Amino acid sequence: MNDCIVCRIAAGCIPSRKVYEDDLVLAFLDISPVSPGHVLVVPKEHFNPLWNVPDEVLARLLSVAKRIAKAQMDSALAPDGVNLFQTNGTAAGQTVFHVHFHVIPRKNGDGAGWTFPEGAYASPEEADATAAAIAAALEKA
């Protein structure tokens, strides 16, 4: 067993408040929730970061996240909305290095949120070059 906390949860070595499980995916309450009902959806197998997750597993993760978001909306939690959030790398706020999707119920005016610096391109040419750079990398991916 590796020392990944999510692998340990998936193996049942660390307790969790499970809300869903199938052959590929597990979902459980976040231990330090942004709001009541904050769920983490994880692959049972260790993958990190997002771009190393096989498409079949990713499709299941997103399908389960969708169902959980709807279940949160339909539950007694009765949120006004739901955030789906995912981090890759320390710079992006990742603290647990096993891919996971946050599914976070939100209430109007709950004050939760993430602050991102306001970005702006120096010029339309810079934005054109940035779009071209990503498109070129995608061609090779």
| Chain contacts with Zn ion (rule: CB under 5 A) | 4, 6-7, 46, 98
Give yes or no: 46 in active site: no
> Per the structure block, which two tokens stand in for 1?
């067993």
> Per the structure block, which two tokens stand in for 104?
């976070």
Helices marked H in 42-83 — which ranges?
55-74
* Min CB(68)–ligand AMP separation in Å: 15
Pick from 10, 30, 48, 69: which binds ligand AMP (CB under 6 A)? 30
Under rule CB under 6 A, residue 95 binds ligand AMP: yes
> Per the structure block, which two tokens stand in for 106?
């939100």
Under rule CB under 6 A, residue 112 binds ligand AMP: no
How would you class 130 by CB atoms within 10 Å of its CB: exposed for 0-12, middle for 13-18, buried for 19 or more? Answer: exposed
Pick from 31, 59, 131, 136: which binds ligand AMP (CB under 6 A)? 31
End-to-end CA distance of the chain: 32
Residues found near ligand AMP in the complex (CB under 6 A): 5, 14, 16, 30-32, 40, 87, 93-96
